[in-house]
Structure 1
């Protein structure tokens, strides 16, 4: 049965399916479930925080008709903000590294955003944005904000980032799983998704184990050395502890290599029909490892962060 007509695309944010990955996890003891966040309107979980951060800024009186909104982004949050700003009538400027996939900047421009590209540091590799690259992006976003008198959303420090996932994503997962969850795991970028969901799930059941996923070459949250900050998990692990990180809701750490993330993303597409990006692949690779040594029947939930459509220019699906 169809629902009522929506007044805008913003009403389509959230309420994404939770899918059992029974084909790729058919031979391991644990049961693996994935929240299909790539089915949000602009193709990523970041739609949720984009709406929440803008609406909270409106409630706080920080925005007025015609205001300019600025954000430093790897692409997905910017695309979500471009959608929200288009509906609400704000001008939006996305500040991003040249190292992020070109599809993201093309989508942003198509949605009416101005894209401010910041060159990578010397020796930077396309598709592998580091903490040093991000520092340059942040510096440019800060300068533009002062120059234009704009609102800098600042997802890396904005508590609404966590609240969005606490109030929506986590509640949906809990309801969809009927409260029967043993493990939750997710790659950490800003930490809004992990901290928000883990906090909510532990408030409901303190026995739920929440594990952070990191690139094998940059496991900074686990307290291990960073051997190479240039990894394929775009939008995650910039080799520094994010401001929104809350170690008290983290029970353990898993790391994945670039190769493991790529192979898992390809398996998601060919075996489960789920066309997702690198970070979703990283989550599933880590979840499969956990499902291999956990108790039989343990229920593991992870996130399919964004659509594979944003990576067609990369090597992710090239054979």
Structure 2
């Protein structure tokens, strides 16, 4: 029996991954943080930050809690606010899962959406906008999970001791995703101290996140990693994250994270979010190289119920290029492979510089294709969609004066399609006037194909298989 919902935050169990981890030298135990009331580890930090603010006088009775969040911390704060009599305003990037936005509103929080792909100095960047709202709101208090010491301290006082006690001090490896850094920092700080430094701490990070050495370009998994806008003047990491406590970082691609999430649901009966997939994928790598006497503990930070419209939605997975399509069916990925990497150039650029890129690809490029103009340079062969500044049809590019900058002539990215989509279905779905199609694979632009290629593909299939009618 408990006096309030806040009394049941924490105390989450460890669950062995008996099937997903089968055959590995070391056992892997999952810390089920999705069993907190708000279905995430962020309930711990939310309660700790509010209690610390009440004690310091920063948050007064009847006040308003304001926070920038990808959803989970906002949900935790909304629960605490409801129980302790505060208002709550959550400022979120517009790419946040609609499931989490609905949950926030259900708890009575006011939701403010702002564009996700903004430089850190922009006034509408999620953190800056939250700070502005807190200052303009009577009784407003900014939780600021990124720099609030109560965030990692919550894990020093609770999460770390729980793991140590639950494993009877046998834990040898601790794995967690890196977002604000509070969970991994606080838990690691306790476990390092309790074990006299013997516990190894491994951060799990999306492949393009800057924490693990990526270029900072966008990724599909929410609530983990660190995105770096190409126009950000100075990249500042959260004070909640102490990099010195992390022994190494495992970089995990979006597809591996999502595949792991599906395996956890279908093989272990555990419905978790994408960042849990990132962490568990890293933990499985750790266990492969561990000894039988080792014991790996991994944080599963949130529930999959906040992502039913995404990681568990076949339409979204197919459109983003995370599904490979039906066997023996011509798919856009076949055309993308033939087209090769997209024509791309980074800003700032002039027409003559862009034409040099086109010329480097040789002859035969159709005017029905387009040049992808990027916000950043990079060594990757595929490009993150939010980092695309625009596109320019080759016919228009060739008509520009040599010294003309590309910026004023760019068009928004047209409708995209996933590499696993059937060619016939994609052709029927897309606007018939769209002459070229960016094809996504694992959420990134893998190629740009001409619409005419789809028509030729239909004819080839119709000729090869008797009884198939021409689609166009």
Local SS of the residue matching 2:20: coil
Give the TM-score taking structure 2 as reference length.
0.62
What is the 5 A alignment of 1:129-140?
A: 136-140=125-129
The corresponding residue for 2:219 is 231
Aligned length: 305
Give the stretch that moved more between structures: 290-299 or 306-315: 290-299
Say which of 188, 198, 202 aligns to 1:207: 198
> How large is the RMSD of aligned CA atoms in angstroms?
1.8
1:184 aligns with 2:174: yes
The corresponding residue for 2:88 is 92
Give the TM-score taking structure 1 as reference length.
0.91
Local SS of the residue matching 2:186: helix
Say which of 5, 10, 29 aligns to 2:6: 10
The corresponding residue for 2:150 is 160
1:283 aligns with 2:256: no
Runs (4+) of structure 1 moved beyond 3 Å? 130-135
Which has the higher Rg, Structure 1 or Structure 2? 2
TM-aligned CA deviation for residue 68 of structure 1: 1.1
Say which of 245, 255, 260 aligns to 2:256: 260
CA distance in 1, matches of 2:113, 2:261: 28
What is the 5 A alignment of 1:1-319?
A: 5-121=1-117, 136-149=125-138, 150-205=140-195, 206-218=197-209, 220-222=210-212, 224-226=213-215, 229-239=217-227, 241-318=237-314
Equivalent residues of 1:278, 1:316 under 8 A apart: no
CA distance in 1, matches of 2:102, 2:211: 33
CA distance in 2, matches of 1:170, 1:79: 23
**Higher relative contact order at CA 8 Å, sep ≥6: structure 1 or structure 2?**
1
**Structure 1, unpaired ranges of 5+:** 123-129
TM-aligned CA deviation for residue 235 of structure 1: 1.5
CA distance in 1, matches of 2:276, 2:121: 24
CA distance in 2, matches of 1:28, 1:119: 42
CA distance in 1, matches of 2:123, 2:225: 11
TM-aligned CA deviation for residue 316 of structure 1: 3.6
TM-aligned CA deviation for residue 131 of structure 1: 6.8
**Structure 2, unpaired ranges of 5+:** 228-234, 318-472
